[in-house]
Structure 1
């Protein structure tokens, strides 16, 4: 088998098998560090051996078996006492898998398992993104707008807390799901966002593998919890966002903003599905949550045949409702962008500038300021803001867009 085929096989295995291997080892060894490290060693072995030996007939089984042996070797090395060696031997390949519980899908089951309510929400989300979502620590840090070292330390402390507190990694039952679903939705939302606008160096600007997987898993959560409005809201938000994917990056690899996109390239089927979910939630007559309001905002945008037809008053009203639920600086920043379309860039800029202390390290803050300053004719200040946004941005398509807008300034 040639090198390209082997590399494709390894890439496929990492994308498709990582969560399954970690889940299997977590059940057997009850230790996240062992599971993650053994899985990493197995994939490293595959990278070393498959180019020479060829891809095995069943790559997933090969990886699981290899990872299992690596884990046993690690336990034996680290624990020399006889009882630990006997324990390791009991965890051999013929150890029967644990019960499936309420969830059939392996990856979703592991996400629900990791989102244990004994952990703080941000901790369980970050840990699950690392262990199951496959995001790197830098990608997770950017999602939470914190330094990479800080987020890495928090993930390490979360693993230590799991060990010290003896938090069981038990497959959740149907009764466990409502208590864990908020963390699961947060994980899926952040995985989708990383695919929607990828921040990792050397990656495609839009990662369809991540957005498609997030949508697939959210559909499964909706099947498990069909009455949960926030699950429906998140699914609608993802569908309405994914519908615009084909129009988001130009042929030259530059980001195309919403106001410049070819709306004829949007996926009408996904938009119809998303709108239907939004209408169902409105008809339910229940106060909406965060994801339902975000979906409604996207429904307003995708209902307009032209950007000039956008009902900006409705968008601002929805953001006002959202701010009461989630008074985060990012929500305030997005609201200011909509305010600019009604009250003008000067009013919006004043609102944006009030967010500097909280969003100074966020590239979209500086990109928004740059655009508002450009519209006000303050070219020098706009150029400086574009420079800062380019410095902080990690997405190649977005950097290309920002550079072009900066270079168009007089």
Structure 2
């Protein structure tokens, strides 16, 4: 019976066999496009040391930040971009993941195979508690609740839970830590150890490729979530939550699940921060860290797949560049000007670099919101639309309008 059905499905009514879909047809399908996007994304991530070197970003330390905060922004976008719920408290999960990872380093082993999953678990548990309470409200009230929980977490870590967090000094690795599993295996050593992956030290390029691999995995999971029924439900909630409720769907379980998944991404990012630098401090829970991930997502493009990663990379690159400038660098930069004009240019530009580089970020953000509300991904779509218009005119067909990135 099944064989007959298979044969009839593979033939036309006249009995002729149906040709298998070509490679171009498979790539034009939804699954083919997703697979191609994932392959291109993985290649771009793993080759970042090559194509980012000309702009001064081909160093493992800054590339690790690109990957880690890309994961952080991807997780935040699952909540904000897919469901429309804006959280100002995701730094709490980032910090909790860092503390969890460092404690696993201190108590169990320096192998990240224990620290990273535990950081994800703590991020999930922490976000489940905060999300269960915060999601009783929506809109600005939800945002304020998440901000309040994040500030409570920061104050607890900074001054109340000092036996666990070590207060303002931060939690660090020490030579006298128990590290039970390492000592059982005879790998404790006599000096302060560094995180490793089954003996491979995760410093420099090995640390970057470890973080980059997890970024690609996180991107693939995010893609699956967006294209799943669950992702469609989140997008429907973002479109009209009241209508979803009127049709009989309970939206809160979907939102809580998205909140927990987003917290797991943040916990993973926090654990990776502890892997690259085995130190966990309360500063990672400050509201400014929560604001950074909001800016990253909006900068790249809310609700898109590539946007959050791109926004995180651009923002961390600008931070690296502008925060390293000082009056000496500016003086050399304007050396071609007359002395009086040189001093004037240094005086008016110095507040926008160094410790005041956030002023430059604020101006960039205002310009982006005014002219590209869909983020950098909208800008790329507009550029692609300009290229498609001449080709459409050459083919004799009217060009299709380019809609903003969603």
TM over 0.5: no
- The higher-RCO structure (CA 8 Å, 6+ apart) is 2
TM-score with structure 1 length normalisation?
0.29
Query: Which one has a bigger Cα radius of gyration?
Result: 2
TM-score with structure 2 length normalisation?
0.29
